[in-house]
Structure 1
């Protein structure tokens, strides 16, 4: 059995803001902290990176900063999704041009294409740019769910290499693994079910929690990937409350509150998001304590 192209822990990086703009110094510090914490790769400008409210120039700049700061120490999978196929292609082209190792392309949101439209979307990206592409399936946010049957067709294309699966549907993972083959990269996009996803044959996770607890989350994935399931379960038990706390309010507001509490960046988000509620903050602090972050 061949090794997956990407495996392990990939933080879905927040984009820190200060006074309305991207805080580049804070972003660099966050990247360095993740690498020092033992993560296996980085994902800038995904949903957690508030890409929906970044300008195109800001989006490109954050990807460039991530690639430059990582400097080849870990792979960078750049967020490059859009509900316009042409715009997605341009973002993937930019990711390739500045040296990203892959692109993460979300299913087209709001327009809700049918399954054949989803296939055509990713086929067009595959044909346009020679860069590994990860499909991002998150129907709770996009309103569309890509089927295993379409993924199996996409898996035969040279540049479509895997998926970030944020459905939380674990039996789907086993079926997808059988349908898409050994080379298909399977990363969870759902921290709470990450342990189960690995047990179903997944290769890792694109994680929100890692922003707050890189060392603890890396230890969990290292244990699981080495076959130490008992150790992984112990790590899971320490982290599960924090996984949940990251979504006690609209993400990434709870995550940014946690990072602000650690003195790493402000808790500033862009409208229509607002700062985490008092109840969310209370739960985040308790969860950080349980996880050994504070």
Structure 2
């Protein structure tokens, strides 16, 4: 990554490993004009508080306002507000990955009335016994 950060035209990276130590080293060692974005909702606040420039979020598809406010707070250093939002959304962050992305996300969006339930191959519907798991996460996060 450090070598790629030197290549003209490569301006940033989506860091989605969830490894905050790795992200900290990366943020420390890349050039100042090289952006590091989180690609892992559960660790996004921590990455932004360490100097990351934002988040490429799955959860934002169903909670755009909350994730926008979370990112603004984290990047402004408002730990209390960022963590208040983060802790409320943690069940969603976790349970949008009970099956391969974007299957649970698509189900959640349909359940919230944001789209229809139709899936195109190669995606398949969410396994029926996981529907209550995702629905519970939506409810506990205040999205339903």
TM-score range relative to shorter protein: over 0.9
SS in 2 for 1:186: strand
- The separation in 2 between residues aligned to 1:250 and 1:177, in whole angstroms, is 29
Partner residue, 1:240? 90
* Structure (1 or 2) with the larger CA radius of gyration: 1
Alignment of 1:183 onto 2:33: yes
- The separation in 2 between residues aligned to 1:196 and 1:279, in whole angstroms, is 32
Partner residue, 2:18? 168
What 5-or-longer segments of structure 1 have no aligned partner? Answer: 1-150
Alignment of 1:285 onto 2:97: no
Bigger relative contact order (CA 8 A; separation at least 6): 1
SS in 1 for 2:2: helix
More strand by percentage? 1
Partner residue, 1:212? 62
Instruction: Using the TM superposition, give the Cα deviation of residue 267 of structure 1 relative to its aligned residue in structure 2, in angstroms.
Output: 2.7
Instruction: Using the TM superposition, give the Cα deviation of residue 235 of structure 1 relative to its aligned residue in structure 2, in angstroms.
Output: 0.6
Deviations 1:141-192 (A, max 9, x none): xxxxxxxxxx222212220001011111111111112221211111111111
Structure 1 moving runs of 4+ over 6 Å: none
Instruction: Using the TM superposition, give the Cα deviation of residue 270 of structure 1 relative to its aligned residue in structure 2, in angstroms.
Output: 2.9
Partner residue, 1:198? 48
Count, aligned residues = 144
Structure 1 length normalisation: TM-score? Answer: 0.47
What 5-or-longer segments of structure 2 have no aligned partner? Answer: none
Instruction: Using the TM superposition, give the Cα deviation of residue 277 of structure 1 relative to its aligned residue in structure 2, in angstroms.
Output: 1.5
Structure 2 length normalisation: TM-score? Answer: 0.92
What RMSD in Å do the two structures reach over aligned CA positions? 1.3
For residues 67-86 of structure 1, what are the structure 2 equivalents within 5 Å?
Answer: none
